[in-house]
Structure 1
Amino acid sequence: MASSILKIHPKDNVLVALKDLSKDEDVEFEGVVYRLQEDIPAKHKFFMQDMQEGDEIYMYGVLVGKTQYFVPRGGIMNTDNTKHAADPYTFRPYNYQWEAPDVSRFQGRTFNGYLRKDGRVGTANYWLFIPTVFCENRNLDVIKEALYNELGYSVTGKYRAFTRELLAAYEAGQDLTSLSLEQLATAVHRKDRVFKNVDGIKFLNHQGGCGGIRQDAAVLGKLLAAYADHPNVAGVTVLSLGCQNLQLTDLMQDIKSRNPQFDKPLFVFEQQQSKSEEQLIKEAIQKTFLGLIEINKFERQPVPLSKLTLGVKCGGSDGFSGISANPAVGYTSDLLVALGGKVLLAEFPELCGAEQNLIDRTIDPAAAHKFINLMTAYSRAAEQVGSGFHMNPSPGNIRDGLITDAIKSTGAAKKGGTSPVVDVLDYTEEATKPGLNLVCTPGNDVEATTGKTASGATLILFTTGLGTPTGNPICPVIKVATNNALAKRMADIIDINTGPIIDGEKTIQEMGKDILEYCIKAASGEIIPKAVQLNQDDFIPWKRGVSL
């Protein structure tokens, strides 16, 4: 029988409720009985001892907050009696020793990926449309509608049919409020893809490229160049207006700077040099169609697991995130690192409280100092506008037990596993070293996945306790639920359920191995993650302003 409470680390002075507990209920842990002072919802915590004003609160073995007034033993931790606190961090000589997990089960295994000329491997084969400026978004939308509908990439057929039925019922004088969704559900057969080896045609609509400050355009250019050069991308079409801050010459230079050997098909169209909008769109479609014929000739082939680059992300987090999904993904991360692959851990505002552990694990002192400088500058920028990392938890996070940023962040850092940190990357910098890399991005779901992909992630494991539809245009995003209820309620977006860890049916290590097995199948195109099936292609460039 699964326990109803959990102590995560021996140093902790709070216990986590794994199910709803009632006021005046007696719960026992390690021979000690605790009388609960109030209802403790699942995922929330209660104190193991009387807490005085200013007492330090420990969870995951680190400082996560301080009490604001006296709270009796068995009292719930909440935003009224607890405020964020975290230990300071600094560089110090530290001989970190890592015990790699047993990878005998995966030794010699391969996945079927797209091997590019430079040796990198894609988990997908996409054609990518890039606008240099937001003025071209409408043209991209017109092209997208035409290509998606005719080439078999649209997922909106059932909704168009649903709308047609509503229209027919309305024109027939029927009472629409009396019709159930089931009555209106029409089977719609999705058009087969014309190009079997082209996994998708993707569009990077954005709001940048002009206005703002020139530095925004410069960062955007590096971001778009990173997407053009990504191993999941086989060809690119660029649409430009002509007068914007991000000039075509700047983007081309960014691409060449990132990869001097860049040789993918690249078609460029500038609207202010075209005869008409119609000509621009038709020519872009025609050239792209010819490009699709060429990249459709690429086929998957077996490559070692060391060719995988795995981004790890959490969003819509809950009180179980740091107990089930994140540690399980962390074990997957350790497995992949031991096999020679790359892992990207980002979301710098959600590393608050975990900094010292990550610094101590960083192999290169220069990289450790880079991490400290990036974290310090980011935190200072937030504070200068009246915010701070302590304001990172969302209302949904708090309702589900993540009371302080240090609690949320320390649990979030579990996704990176326990391996040494081999490098620290600023936004858009490419991961080149096998092992665990830290990537500076916001915690914001889409901004983080956008940045992680720019650094080279070819798959992203995205853990969630509350549910989120976030995806990415060119990097398949795999959703990992922290609990059974979410996995059942939002089965249309969840790929993997780690709820059995909470129920005591599986260990973190067993689940971590299961997740890697899923990743191998997803990287091979044998399984299509839900976010990919639903065309959840979210893309938000970070302007380097304050975003948590």
Structure 2
Amino acid sequence: MPAIVLKVHPADNVIVALRNLAAGEQIEFDSQTYTLPYAVGAKHKFVTEDRQPGDPVIMYGVLVGKATQPIRRGEPITTFNLKHDADPYSLAKKQPYRWQPPDVSRWQDRTFMGYHRADGRVGTRNYWLVVPLVFCENRNVLILKDAFERELGYAQPEMYRQQVHELLSLYRAGEMDVIRKMQPFVDVSQNHTLTHTSAPQSGRPFPNVDGIKFLTHEMGCGGTRQDSAVLCSLLAGMINNPNVAGATVLSLGCQHLQADMISAEIRRQNPKFNKPLLLFEQQAGTEYALMSQAVKETFLGLAEINKLTRQPAPLSALTVGLKCGGSDGFSGISANPAIGHLSDVIVTLGGKTVLAEFPELNGVEQELINRTVNDADAQKFIDLMGGYSAQAEAVGSGFDMNPSPGNIKDGLITDAIKSAGAAKKGGTAPVAQVLDYAEPVNTPGLTLLCTPGNDVEATTGMAGSGTNVILFTTGLGTPTGNPVCPVVKISTNTALLNRMPDVIDFDSGPIIEGEQTIEQNADALLDYIVRLASGETITAAERLGQDDFIPWKRGVSL
């Protein structure tokens, strides 16, 4: 019989409800009986002992808040009776850390089929990238997108266009009553299973090109020079991403971010860079001359990268981003620990994993400092966290304001609760490297990367730092994807999978149901990633064309 409650850490003084618990219900747990004075919803927590104002509440073994009102034994914690709090952290408090790597014998000789690049990295996709250096070129990028995607077979299915066509026909016939009485159109585009197969490529002229990805943004000029410099690093990182085989870059000519700057930054990040890089400047002539030349040269570039084929690569060639969004009270006890265990496996095999979202590490800083291999990186983490937090507080916000209404409704009452669960994505491995936004990941092991918690800004940052797969856990559901990096959506509960099968790729709900251990779920997920990285399947976000790209302007974004 599945458990109905769970204590995450022995030191905790809260217990998590795994299903809805009624007022007056008696709960037997760990030789104790708790009579609930109020109903406790699934994913929410009740205290194991009376709490008075100022008393600490502990979850995941860390301070996650302090009582603001008396809380009786068995009573749920809420935004009314609990406020965010977290323990202070410093380099002086750093403790020695020992790690026991997991057994990876079953994965030691496993390979995936990837695209080997000249710099030694391996792509899980073979993309051509089209990017503007300034927002003035967005229109031209979108014109190229329409032309290439329609003619080369990469465009999204036109089911909604067909629906509008049918409605228009009825409207012209004066059949408004028919339109009003019509049932919603049935989605026949996918079969609501966890395997989203690749789009047919038999009719494509370039079968080894997985897609042409077109980025637009609102930066490059008119802001600060610092913003342009960050954008330069980010775009260089996207072009250097192992999933990208070549790029077309459009420049107006007079903007802050100049063509020679992006070229120099690409080679600064990657001295071994040798991909096709096409640079076009509009102010050198007419728009037609720019676009016609860009079309021809890009077409030739696609023909060139189509010669590349997938070859076997060890799992150590994976660089895996670890992300959560639309989190719920189950995130920290199912999907996040599962990808945390997977992260430890990848690290043990010699691969790279990337934990980002610094606002969602609030409250677990000392644990991460303790795990950081060298003091310089530990101090860098402290400086980045402190500066980020101070910037937010300076405008009247703060990390404590991070949980969204959806997070709170589903059990994440304080930022420290949310953060402690979010940090489980990073497993238990030592921290090998700490990076600021858009810095490239170049050290095997677990990396801490400074990004906002904002889903798209974070996934954009991880792809810009070199991830070739991103794992994204969600309890509430989100369609987030990325132009160059497959984003695997992992549900924390099976009810979400059943509700949103068109956006979920993998389910960690069996952990909650007691049907799988965290390790078993992680192993099944890694099997899926090997198939995904080999091009045998695609993610829901790829199938939907969910190519989200938002550069972080280093303002206050939580």
| TM-score bucket (shorter structure) | over 0.9
1:417 aligns with 2:433: no
**Aligned residue number for residue 357 of structure 2:** 347
Distance 1:25 1:386, change over 3 A: same
Any stretches of 5+ residues in structure 1 without a counterpart?
A: none
Report the Cα offset of residue 357 of structure 1. 0.8
Q: Hey, what's the Cα distance between the residues in 2 that align with 1:288 and 1:378?
A: 40
2:215 to 204, 211, 218: 204
Report the Cα offset of residue 335 of structure 1. 0.7
**Aligned residue number for residue 105 of structure 2:** 104
Report the Cα offset of residue 203 of structure 1. 1.2
Deviation string 1:12-33 (CA, Å, 9 cap, x unpaired) is 1111110011111111111211
Q: Hey, what's the Cα distance between the residues in 2 that align with 1:193 and 1:352?
A: 48
**Aligned residue number for residue 447 of structure 1:** 457
1:177 to 155, 177, 180: 180
Correspondence list, 1:381-392, <5 A: 381-392=391-402
Q: Give the counterpart letter for 1:536 in structure 2.
A: Q
Q: Give the counterpart letter for 1:537 in structure 2.
A: D
Q: What is the DSSP-based 3-state SS (H/G/I as helix, E as strand, rest coil) of the residue aligned with 1:514?
A: helix
Q: CA contact under 8 A between 1:96 and 1:361: conserved in structure 2?
A: yes
Q: Hey, what's the Cα distance between the residues in 1 that align with 2:479 and 2:201?
A: 21
Deviation string 1:129-158 (CA, Å, 9 cap, x unpaired) is 010001111111111111111111111422
Report the Cα offset of residue 495 of structure 1. 0.3
**Aligned residue number for residue 541 of structure 2:** 531
Distance 1:544 1:503, change over 3 A: same
Q: CA contact under 8 A between 2:232 and 2:257: conserved in structure 1?
A: yes
Q: Hey, what's the Cα distance between the residues in 1 that align with 2:41 and 2:143?
A: 49
Q: What is the DSSP-based 3-state SS (H/G/I as helix, E as strand, rest coil) of the residue aligned with 1:272?
A: helix
Q: What is the DSSP-based 3-state SS (H/G/I as helix, E as strand, rest coil) of the residue aligned with 1:181?
A: coil
**Aligned residue number for residue 43 of structure 1:** 43
TM-score, normalisation: structure 1: 0.97
Q: Give the counterpart letter for 2:27 in structure 1.
A: V
Runs ≥4 residues deviating over 3 A:
182-192
Q: Hey, what's the Cα distance between the residues in 1 that align with 2:200 and 2:452?
A: 40
Q: Give the counterpart letter for 2:71 in structure 1.
A: V
1:281 to 277, 291, 294: 291
Report the Cα offset of residue 260 of structure 1. 2.5
1:256 to 260, 263, 267: 267
**Aligned residue number for residue 68 of structure 1:** 68
Report the Cα offset of residue 181 of structure 1. 2.8
Q: CA contact under 8 A between 2:94 and 2:366: conserved in structure 1?
A: no
Q: What is the DSSP-based 3-state SS (H/G/I as helix, E as strand, rest coil) of the residue aligned with 1:53?
A: coil
Q: What is the DSSP-based 3-state SS (H/G/I as helix, E as strand, rest coil) of the residue aligned with 2:526?
A: helix
1:193 to 204, 208, 212: 204
Correspondence list, 1:79-94, <5 A: 79-91=79-91, 92-94=93-95
Deviation string 1:422-459 (CA, Å, 9 cap, x unpaired) is 11011111111111011011111001101111111100
Q: Give the counterpart letter for 1:506 in structure 2.
A: Q
Q: CA contact under 8 A between 1:480 and 1:496: conserved in structure 2?
A: yes
Deviation string 1:22-71 (CA, Å, 9 cap, x unpaired) is 11111111121111111111001111111111110000000000000111
Percent identity for Structure 1 against Structure 2: 59
Q: CA contact under 8 A between 1:151 and 1:191: conserved in structure 2?
A: no
Q: Give the counterpart letter for 1:79 in structure 2.
A: T
Q: What is the DSSP-based 3-state SS (H/G/I as helix, E as strand, rest coil) of the residue aligned with 1:201?
A: strand
Q: What is the DSSP-based 3-state SS (H/G/I as helix, E as strand, rest coil) of the residue aligned with 2:106?
A: coil
**Aligned residue number for residue 13 of structure 2:** 13
**Aligned residue number for residue 33 of structure 2:** 33
**Aligned residue number for residue 241 of structure 2:** 230
Distance 1:191 1:181, change over 3 A: farther
Distance 1:193 1:163, change over 3 A: farther
Q: CA contact under 8 A between 1:152 and 1:191: conserved in structure 2?
A: no
Q: What is the DSSP-based 3-state SS (H/G/I as helix, E as strand, rest coil) of the residue aligned with 1:105?
A: helix
Q: CA contact under 8 A between 1:155 and 1:190: conserved in structure 2?
A: no
Q: Give the counterpart letter for 1:229 in structure 2.
A: N
Q: Give the counterpart letter for 2:8 in structure 1.
A: I
Superposed CA RMSD in Å reads 1.6
Correspondence list, 1:359-374, <5 A: 359-374=369-384
Q: CA contact under 8 A between 2:470 and 2:487: conserved in structure 1?
A: yes
Report the Cα offset of residue 93 of structure 1. 4.8
**What is the aligned length?**
547
1:56 aligns with 2:56: yes
Q: CA contact under 8 A between 1:13 and 1:57: conserved in structure 2?
A: yes
Q: CA contact under 8 A between 1:113 and 1:523: conserved in structure 2?
A: yes
1:266 to 277, 280, 289: 277
Deviation string 1:407-428 (CA, Å, 9 cap, x unpaired) is 0001000001001111101111
Q: CA contact under 8 A between 1:379 and 1:388: conserved in structure 2?
A: yes
TM-score, normalisation: structure 2: 0.96
Q: Hey, what's the Cα distance between the residues in 2 that align with 1:309 and 1:185?
A: 34
1:313 to 305, 323, 326: 323
**Aligned residue number for residue 379 of structure 1:** 389
Q: Hey, what's the Cα distance between the residues in 1 that align with 2:463 and 2:336?
A: 19
Report the Cα offset of residue 186 of structure 1. 9.8
Distance 1:71 1:30, change over 3 A: same
1:303 aligns with 2:313: yes
Q: Hey, what's the Cα distance between the residues in 1 that align with 2:365 and 2:206?
A: 47
Q: CA contact under 8 A between 2:221 and 2:255: conserved in structure 1?
A: yes
Q: What is the DSSP-based 3-state SS (H/G/I as helix, E as strand, rest coil) of the residue aligned with 1:33?
A: strand
Q: CA contact under 8 A between 1:162 and 1:184: conserved in structure 2?
A: no
Q: CA contact under 8 A between 1:65 and 1:86: conserved in structure 2?
A: yes
Q: What is the DSSP-based 3-state SS (H/G/I as helix, E as strand, rest coil) of the residue aligned with 1:12?
A: coil
Higher mean alpha-carbon deviation, 153-162 vs 342-351, is at 153-162
Q: Hey, what's the Cα distance between the residues in 1 that align with 2:288 and 2:448?
A: 45
Q: What is the DSSP-based 3-state SS (H/G/I as helix, E as strand, rest coil) of the residue aligned with 1:43?
A: coil
Q: CA contact under 8 A between 2:359 and 2:399: conserved in structure 1?
A: yes
**Aligned residue number for residue 118 of structure 1:** 119
**Aligned residue number for residue 196 of structure 2:** none
Q: Hey, what's the Cα distance between the residues in 1 that align with 2:491 and 2:189?
A: 30
Q: Hey, what's the Cα distance between the residues in 1 that align with 2:163 and 2:108?
A: 49
Q: CA contact under 8 A between 2:116 and 2:311: conserved in structure 1?
A: yes
**Aligned residue number for residue 396 of structure 1:** 406
Q: Give the counterpart letter for 2:171 in structure 1.
A: Y
Report the Cα offset of residue 192 of structure 1. 3.6
Q: Give the counterpart letter for 2:132 in structure 1.
A: P
1:245 aligns with 2:246: no
Q: What is the DSSP-based 3-state SS (H/G/I as helix, E as strand, rest coil) of the residue aligned with 1:34?
A: strand
**Aligned residue number for residue 148 of structure 1:** 149
Deviation string 1:193-229 (CA, Å, 9 cap, x unpaired) is 3311101100120010011111101110111111111
Distance 1:267 1:189, change over 3 A: closer
Distance 1:534 1:186, change over 3 A: closer
Q: Hey, what's the Cα distance between the residues in 2 that align with 1:119 and 1:331?
A: 26
Q: Hey, what's the Cα distance between the residues in 2 that align with 1:127 and 1:189?
A: 18
**Aligned residue number for residue 495 of structure 2:** 485
Q: Give the counterpart letter for 2:141 in structure 1.
A: L
Deviation string 1:330-359 (CA, Å, 9 cap, x unpaired) is 011011111110000010110011111111
